[in-house]
Amino acid sequence: MNTARLLDTLMVAQDRLRATVIDCLPWDELLSRYDRPDALVYLDPPHYACGTYYGPGLFSRDDHARRSRPVAWCRSCG
């Protein structure tokens, strides 16, 4: 391992990520707080068929339908 090159790579990553915000909020609160045309927002919803992986009864069919609607008006979703 070339530690000098690793340090250079980490410095470049630090510069690129300096203004990055990583947050863990309910999706609707996150969008209301951060959604704007110059933002990159990544929402990782649970997949409908795998909803029980997160725990029984946590995500209903209605929850998935409700989460799909904001993409139509989301300014950061391109």
* Distance in angstroms (rounded) separating the CA atoms of residues 53 and 38: 33
- Smallest CA-to-CA distance from 56 within 46, 41, 42 is with 46
- Residues 68/35, Cβ–Cβ less than 8 Å: no
Structure tokens that stand for 76 in this block? 């950061």
What DSSP string describes 36-70?
A: -TT------PPPGGGGGGG-TTSS-HHHHHHHHGG
pLDDT of residue 30: 86
pLDDT of residue 58: 73
pLDDT in tens, the chain (78 residues): 788 899 999 999 999 899 888 888 887 888 889 888 888 888 776 676 765 677 777 777 787 777 776 666 677 665
